[in-house]
Chain A
Amino acid sequence: MPLLAFRRVAMRLAGAVILLVLPALGPSTAAADPAQLVQSTAQQVIDIVKTKTGADRQAAILGVLQASFDLPAMGRAALGTHWNQATEDERTRFLKVVATAEARAYSERFGQYAGQTLTVGKVQQRANGASIVDSKLNQATGQPIKLEWEVRGDRITDVKVEGVSMIMTRRSDFNSYIQNHGGKVDALLQELESRAGR
């Protein structure tokens, strides 16, 4: 009798464990192919650059950024340890203004880079669950530019241009600015907001 009961409990436990583990496995196995994500994002941006200009282009690129990139995570990463010390209000303001700033920056960059092609290469899995997609931006003159895209789940979380991570550069930038202005996130917010207003 006790043995049967034990087996029943064990089966139920096993079942419960499997049910718990499956959803955790789910997202990573069901994630969209990272290379596909990078390719389609690049294609969307190229199409936008060809067909739109000015404020339209910026708005369209912002749309692509919001759909393909994990902007909240990127914003949090760019603020680093200061995120924990920021108030709720500051955080919302920050995410909003950083999204606009990034959209404008990418819009200007892509405006310059017209008529170039992106060749997507191999995908590597990193230990922390992110995938790194290698790619090359082929230019008419000079060497191709090495781009690495960090993809977590089904969103892009960082781009490295010739080894320079956009997030890490931003983080150093913001960190230095905050420290030089008395450690206040608000000072950074004001600077970013005034730039966005221009």
Chain B
Amino acid sequence: MIESLSGTMKRKARRSLVAMAVAATLMGGCASGDTGAAEVWDPIETPNRFLFSLNRVVDIIALRPVAVIYRDWMPEPAQKSVRNLLDNLGEPVTAINEVVQGEPGRAATTMARFLVNSTIGVAGLFDVATSLGLERTKEDFGKTIGLYAGVEPENGGFYLMLPVVGPSNARDGTGLMMDYLVDPFRILTFNLAIDWTAYQAARYGMNVIDYRSRTIFALDDLEKNSVDYYAALRSAYTQNRADVIRQKREKTDTKSELERRDNLALVR
């Protein structure tokens, strides 16, 4: 199967398979608790907790204040434009993931969104596509792995606390890496030798601030109302990802799938 693909695709396919194999072996057992509710498997808890406290320091000193200022002082339309731009840059990766997940229809819609928003929507600043009826979806490789892995969605391998990014696990961490590797925008700007550090700082920096500004309330709430913030965050993260993956697996939403196909006719 691999032989039939072209050069770069062969490399990518092999890389994806390797990544999947690594991910599969990393899916370890969870400590089984009571009444079927398993605790998140966290074999490297001590380093994780250390990274978590580092993250919190950076968050309290730098990240959260900037996110609060962004949320409170940046005008709502400007915030929306930034979010639209960042979302638009992420559409190709979403489309690639939708293809791998076996949903070419959704991938086509996502690419249509990308084309419409990049042209009519002035480089993605305006989300024209949604008003045309093309709904936005967000897919990442962590969800793709979760879709195909034969384990229950709560099992994402060992829990991992990443610097800046925050809570993750073996599955989602692998997913982040894969998404980063296949991202056409990253590849494009890298190959065109555009000022690399400026691009990275701008794009990923804005991503972090924008995302942090949207999670201020939820994280504050979690911190205030838990006796062990690290454990509560670990549980909340795992449950949220599991729910999203479970929804993907169930895919009972045939109505919206049909709607999407209708919307595709608009673009053709």
Contacts and interface: CB of A to CB of B under 8 A. Distances in A.
Contact of B240 (A142, A163, A175, A188): A163
Nearest to A145: B218
Interface residues of A, number: 30
B140 interface: no
Contacts of B224: 105, 108
A63 B243 CA distance: 31
B227 A163 contact: no
B227 A173 contact: yes
B221 A192 contact: no
Q: Is the interface of A mostly helix, strand, loop or mixed?
A: helix
Given A80-B33, A105-B225, A141-B76, A172 B243 contact: no
A108 to B, nearest CB: 7
Q: Is the interface of B mostly helix, strand, loop or mixed?
A: helix
A169 B232 contact: yes
Interface in A62-113: 77, 80-81, 101, 105, 108-109, 112
Interface in B198-233: 214, 217, 221-222, 224-228, 230-232
B34 A81 contact: yes
Interface string A172-190: 1111110010000000100
Interface of B: 33-35, 37, 39-40, 76, 214, 217, 221-222, 224-228, 230-232, 234-236, 239-240, 242-244, 246
6 contacts: A101-B225, A109-B221, A162-B240, A168-B37, A173-B231, A173-B235
